[in-house]
Structure 1
Amino acid sequence: MKKIEDAGRIVSFTPGTPLTGLGVAKALDSGHANFKEGDLTDVPLSYYTRLLGMPGLTAYAGFYEVASPKKGEYVFVSAASGAVGQLVGQFAKLLGCYVVGSAGSKEKVDPWKNKFGFDEAFNYKEEQDLDAALKGTSLKALTFYFEKVGGKTLDAVLLNMRDHGRIVVCGMISQYNLDEFEGIKNLIRIIYKRVLVQGFSVFDYYYLYPKFLELVLPHIKESPDCVH
């Protein structure tokens, strides 16, 4: 595996240094009207490793803060079956966007339309031509792409971007285990289409966690899947 030196990535714990991370607290005593002794959380604790944890904040920050989305935009989400991609697609639907997702199996694709509300989805492993696969959807032309894959998917997306579209880069999972990274042939489309490409790290956005909770907690509590 190629070693990537990047201060934005998680590094191993160094003995003798402070531990960092997020946690859930239980109220042992309280003088605050909103909390009473014994309070822990009003949603299942497991949510804090998924939706209310780093994946959820990553999706929120990338979509709302980095992408600056607008109602009615055409959105494509790669790796949409992952914890981040699922949420980006649902945020986009809440905003009133047209959303298409891709993943690597029928089992991953089916729930998007049936459960998560994506407008369209396809299995990229069944597609010989990803450019044709994107053109075969109702996206018309992408205004926003949430990038998690890189490689051939990014190359195909660049052929389908609308003028002044945006690509928000969260990850490139197709590249992580390669000895040599794949080249991207269609980068010149960034110039032709005046596309804005921006990478981000969730570590820069932890200050938004209270704002993130304000948005997602009401939806979680309304969900039939939220069993206490």
Structure 2
Amino acid sequence: MSSGSFLLLDIDGTLVDSFAGIRHSLLLALDELGVDRPSEEFLSTIAGPPMEETLGRLGMDEDEARRGLHTYLRYFGESGWSMSQPYPGALDFLRRAAATEGLKVATCSSKGEAFARRTLEHFRMMEHLDFLGAAEEHGTRRTKIAVLDYVLDSLAIDPSRDRVVLVGDRIHDFEAATARSIDSIAAEWGYGRPAEYAEATHSAPDFAATERILDDYFR
């Protein structure tokens, strides 16, 4: 069987800056639940991981975190999602990737699937993707590695045979890629910290540098 080439992309912190909407929605949810607002230092870490993980860090048990997640999703659906903005150069990057002969481009995001689709369609990014890989808002596919496995299975990707690279900005991206023997590129313009970027195979300060690294894999 011949090998294929696959570029997997995180969304929040990689293609789209969604921090303002995530922060806004979380704070409204905490207010409704009667939970004290955390510090700005804590809030600076909330973009990327599944929201129930963040709620757990605030001391909620599993049932409380589930209720908190549903409340957060309601606020995010009402207003938070519309606060997102594409990173400069993201759409052009996607267009060029989609035009690369033999390369399939998919997302691999902890963002809920409905919100991911709505956001990417709004910014005219969806049309440049071969597959939407995202989490389930209310299902069991919530962690980054669960989403990655979903993408690998859906596209019949075999990391031992195919050329696969995951671009993301948080430790969850790089740990999942490593667990499945996939190379990764840290998007330094995102929400991660230098210690997180160090866990990626490569690190890039912008889309131009990312493309130069991808040239070694796919072109």
Scaled by the length of structure 2, what TM-score is found? 0.41
Bigger Cα Rg:
1
Higher helix proportion: 2
Scaled by the length of structure 1, what TM-score is found? 0.39
